[in-house]
Amino acid sequence: MLTNTPLDVSETELPELEQALADLGSPRFHARQIFQWIYRRGVTDFGEMTDLGIELRSRLAQQMRIATPEVARHERSVDGTTKFLLRLADGKFIEAVGIPDSPGDTLCLSTQVGCAMRCAFCLTGKMGIDRNLTAGEIVGQVRVLTRELGLLERRFNIVLMGMGEPLHNYEATMKALRILADEYGLSVSPRRVTLSTVGVLPALERLATEPFMPNLAISLHSTTEEQRDLLVPINRKYGITELLDACRRFPIKRRERITFEYVMLQGVNDSPEDARRLARLLNGIRSKVNLLPLNEAAGIPFTRPSDDAVNRFAKVLADRGVTVSVRKSRGRDIRAACGQLITESSKTEAPGRRLAMMM
């Protein structure tokens, strides 16, 4: 099919690209070569894809494009974490973070510009939602970070824990996971991907039926409906009881577990009684708990508990047989840690000022 808009190969799964080549009258296997150039070698200029014929290369350059987020700025933490501010084709900004030695390399990706969930302790939530990312923009973060961090052809993990709620952008997120997994591309198995969600229930139920399933992390953060209603507002729609029932039914693989994230807010949800309630709630779910001591920020009306309080809480859980870990905050000095990702979306502002505000 001939159209005026060039096909954006960053958005295509391999079979779609094969079909597009067939439509051009070219053999389908060239699609695999193009995938290898893009994902394994970081090449996005068709002219440089030297195992394709010259004529095909110039036709591709006319009829297709490969949109790639631009690095507007990057910043490195003392702990080696690197935060990237990326500019998308329409001028919007998102952030993605590379975290080394965690234990391997981990890439933390955004799934939306902003977020609609408005969790009370999260800066991204303060932005509200601007728009969903496309599958190509989600995968594009991986292409840019692997190139910039020298991870081409290396193994790494992915966490969908940047800006946005992945289950509020279901189609694009799942398509991105399929593109990432392609054996001619990045070959990232879903086992190396963790999807973190507040628990958008219909989408969670749908995820349970996918052939292709990432690891699951649930942002629980609270042990009573009343409190979670306030901290994680979507709880008013899909409460703890329903959410945990869905988790009980979730088809987790043998030897795997659902991670429950629990942000710790001093004097709010960090008492031993909270810990006991948490252990009771998770009874019967193959689970582990990841405690996230709050990363404080201006405009966030909560305090991070002391290390002692965190350790006491962890011990109550451990004594009840719950596997528990405390998340190390990485990149706090560059505001790259959980809940600290925020970009100004206002288009009217001069880019310089926008960046200055962000960083």
Which positions are annotated as active-site residues? 95, 338
- Residues 111/166, Cβ–Cβ less than 8 Å: yes
**DSSP alpha helices (H): ranges in the chain?**
14-23, 30-35, 54-63, 123-127, 135-148, 170-181, 201-207, 225-231, 240-249, 272-281, 307-319, 351-358
- 219 binds ligand SAH, rule: CB under 6 A: yes
Phi/psi for 290 (5° steps) reads: -115, 110
**Cβ 212 to ligand SAH, closest distance in Å?**
19
**Cβ 97 to ligand SAH, closest distance in Å?**
11
**Cβ 295 to ligand SAH, closest distance in Å?**
4
Residues in CB range of 172: below 8 A, 6 or more apart? 111, 132, 133, 134, 135, 137, 138
Stretch that binds ligand SAH, among 18-26, 190-198, 222-230, 273-281 (CB under 6 A): 190-198
- Residues 116/165, Cβ–Cβ less than 8 Å: yes
**Cβ 20 to ligand SAH, closest distance in Å?**
33
- Residues 260/288, Cβ–Cβ less than 8 Å: yes
- 223 binds ligand SAH, rule: CB under 6 A: no
Q: What angle do CA 6, 30, 58 make, to 5 degrees?
A: 45
**Cβ 94 to ligand SAH, closest distance in Å?**
13
Question: Segment 291-350, which members bind ligand SAH (CB under 6 A)?
Answer: 292, 294-295, 300, 338-339
Of 185 and 339, the one with the shorter C-beta distance to ligand SAH is 339
- 243 binds ligand SAH, rule: CB under 6 A: no
- 121 binds ligand SAH, rule: CB under 6 A: yes
Phi-psi region of 291 (alpha: psi -120 to 50; beta: other; left: phi over 0): beta
User: Which of 109, 142, 240, 263 is close enough to bind ligand SAH by CB under 6 A?
Assistant: 263
Distance between CA atoms of residues 308 and 42, nearest Å: 46
Q: What angle do CA 179, 206, 229 make, to 5 degrees?
A: 115
- 81 binds ligand SAH, rule: CB under 6 A: no
Query: Pattern 135-174, binding to ligand SAH, x per CB under 6 A?
Result: --------------------------x---x---------
Interaction site with ligand SAH (CB under 6 A): 117, 119, 121-122, 161, 165, 196-198, 219, 261, 263, 292, 294-295, 300, 338-339
